[in-house]
Structure 1
Amino acid sequence: MAFKQKLAKATGIPATKLPSSYQVLGDILLIKLPKLTASQKQKIGRAILGMLPYIRTVCEMREISGELREPVVSVIAGNGTTTVHRENGVLYKMDVSKVMFSKGNLSERKRLLDKIKDGETVIDMFAGIGYFSLPIAKFTKAKEVISIEKNATAYNFLTDNIALNKLGNVIAIQGDCITAARSFHSKADRVLMGYFPGTEKFLGAALWMSKSGCVVHYHNVYSEKELWKKPLSEIEELCKAFGKEYHIEGKKKVKSFSPKKWHVVVDFTV
């Protein structure tokens, strides 16, 4: 019996009103429950705890908001929102009510590992709790990973996670990446721009930090109609402004962001 049907049977709520998917991070389950009453949500939370013994807390996730990409989450059953999540041999400590973690970016995290060359200096402009920085530092021979994060809560988890994974080649910096970029002129062999939407505002900082031959991984969100003209024109405009030649190495859709909008990544060399 599928999760939705089991949940309907346990709660008495029609399956048509229940979601068929959810996200598990460590021992916390996140689920979206629109158009249900508070009592129905609590009933669902208690039922999930009974169905899945490895789950300690059930949270309703409503949205991700603001410049710092903070989740709007509420506990509907169990207690505690801090957990340690393991993904592909990397440990991520986090508070799901304060920082986001997208399992939908797993394929992109795996893809990057094959791109890193021995001895590279990698700058992660939007490090979060270490989504990209940690696996790169752990599983590649990068010389160093410079991880910049503005959100103080995410930064604290980033430093915890560096220690948790016993990594000695990560430099964590708290602050705005545009300000931090001033200290790293022509430093990077590779720049990660895993923030969206509005990533185009930070392209100048990425180019400032890029040495000759640097690869930039430019993530952003575009409508179907804007692909691929808009992202390529943004890259061209900034490279011309910096007097840099560039070459598009590849482009791909990472995942759906909203109806008719895509999270995409463009890899280019300068």
Structure 2
Amino acid sequence: MKWKKIGNILILDNKFIVQSDKQLKELSDKHKVKTVMKVDHIHGTKREPVIKLLYGEDTETINKENGCLFKLDLKKVMWSKGNNNERIRIAKLVEDNETVIDMFAGIGYFSIPIGVHSNAKQVYSIEINPNSFHYLKENIKLNKINNIIPLLGDCMDITPEYSADRIIMGYVKTTHHYLKTAIDSLNKGGVIHYHETVPEKLMDTRPINRIKEVAGDRSVEFLKLNKVKKYSPGVFHVVCDARIN
């Protein structure tokens, strides 16, 4: 049986067949959780989960990861456990006094580790989903961070109002539509972390070529392609790091 534990909530794989209430109570006791649930799917551009409660009622929890605290309601916002290494990797890359734009910030998946583990000058965290934005603000307070500015709205509209030394594009499927907006706001010599879901045979070419195409006359230095996880058969979630002058 596949499962993941987020705070004191257990999320079961959709293939798991529930046989009885007793079985759910035993799972709850074994894993020391208050709620057992399934996530049917993640819906729309606001990444809203569609869930099925199996045991318990409370879907709000606090998850600890990489020395950071994340408060969230799993009925309202998503949590991807498979991205934890990527979240701390980016935080460790941020240099002293950098200004960072975190597009698609969610509840602070990347912003909070940056605030906790780096000496960034300023982090602009942009999120369109009001529920995620609520928990982004909660997590800034929870972790006692004072260099993150949360911004509610569409990245396409808000990003051009700022400039940054590093821009994180932690979204998939349609991220390439936002590349021009991101690159236009990136300072000369700045670094972009561009997330994409890509067929395995195109991993080494498509992400960086998309960045180069949008960058136009600006020179692009490829830094790294980081494989985050398998997204679907033959398709991977990757992050392309590139410096743009």
Interval of TM-score (by shorter of Structure 1 and Structure 2): over 0.9
TM value normalised by structure 2:
0.95
Task: Find the residue that maps to 2:93 and give its secondary structure.
Answer: coil
RMSD over aligned CA atoms reads 1.4
Structure 2 regions of 5+ residues with no counterpart? none
Residue range with higher mean Cα deviation, 43-52 or 245-254: 43-52
Is residue 91–residue 110 contact of structure 2 (8 Å, CA) maintained in 1? no
Aligned length in residues: 244
Structure 1 regions of 5+ residues with no counterpart? 1-18
User: In the alignment, which residue of structure 1 is the partner of 2:113?
Assistant: 135
Displacement after TM superposition at 1:65 (Å): 2.1
- Letter of the structure 1 residue corresponding to residue 11 of structure 2: L
* 2:238 counterpart of 1:238: no
Structure with more relative contact order (C-alpha pairs < 8 Å, separation 6 or more): 2
Alignment partners' CA distance in 2, 1:41 and 1:90:
36
* 2:37 counterpart of 1:59: yes
2:178 corresponds, among 202, 206, 230, to: 202
1:112 corresponds, among 67, 86, 90, to: 90
User: In the alignment, which residue of structure 2 is the partner of 1:177?
Assistant: 155
Change (3 A) 1:41 1:32: farther
Identity across the alignment (%): 39
User: In the alignment, which residue of structure 1 is the partner of 2:55?
Assistant: 77
Displacement after TM superposition at 1:43 (Å): 4.9
Displacement after TM superposition at 1:183 (Å): 0.8
Is residue 83–residue 95 contact of structure 1 (8 Å, CA) maintained in 2? yes
Larger radius of gyration: 1
Displacement after TM superposition at 1:218 (Å): 0.4
Alignment partners' CA distance in 2, 1:222 and 1:172:
30
Structure showing the higher strand proportion among its residues = 2
Displacement after TM superposition at 1:42 (Å): 4.4
User: In the alignment, which residue of structure 1 is the partner of 2:3?
Assistant: 22
Displacement after TM superposition at 1:41 (Å): 6.5
* 2:198 counterpart of 1:222: yes
The runs of 4+ residues in structure 1 deviating greater than 6 Å are: none
